[in-house]
Amino acid sequence: AQTVTQSQPEMSVQEAETVTLSCTYDTSESNYYLFWYKQPPSRQMILVIRQEAYKQQNATENRFSVNFQKAAKSFSLKISDSQLGDTAMYFCAFMKHDGNQFYFGTGTSLTVIP
């Protein structure tokens, strides 16, 4: 079975600063996908960034980047130049290569302080 662990229930960061959210996972699969999703208060869950396990290069999307360490089964999210709109719950998720089922972590509540 796959498990996803987010060990930081809550975090805060000053506006314009950088913050890193942690995620570890456990799997026996060799190829899979990892995701970070954002859920703003009372808003729809949206994809922030995606990483394929067979790609060594870390994914980046504007201010968002990941540090993917396959051997350590670690997938952290770095948010640079934090903005007030980044305040949200962030969920790390895992999907096997067959595309069936997403496994979510317990989430990290991030607050950006003005």
Closer to other proteins by Cβ: residue 16 or 54: 54
Find the binder of other proteins among 77, 93, 110, 112 (CB under 8 A).
93
Instruction: Show the tokens assigned to 62.
Output: 């504007």
Distance of alpha carbon 24 from alpha carbon 61, whole angstroms: 20
Kindly state whether residue 28 participates in binding other proteins, applying the rule CB under 8 A. Answer: no
Closer to other proteins by Cβ: residue 11 or 16: 11
Burial call 10-47: b when 16+ CB within 10 Å, e when fewer: eeebeeeeebebbbbbebeeeebbbbbbbeeeeeeeee
Kindly state whether residue 77 participates in binding other proteins, applying the rule CB under 8 A. Answer: no
Taking CB under 8 A as the binding criterion, the range among 13-21, 60-68, 70-78, 104-112 that sits at the site for other proteins is 104-112
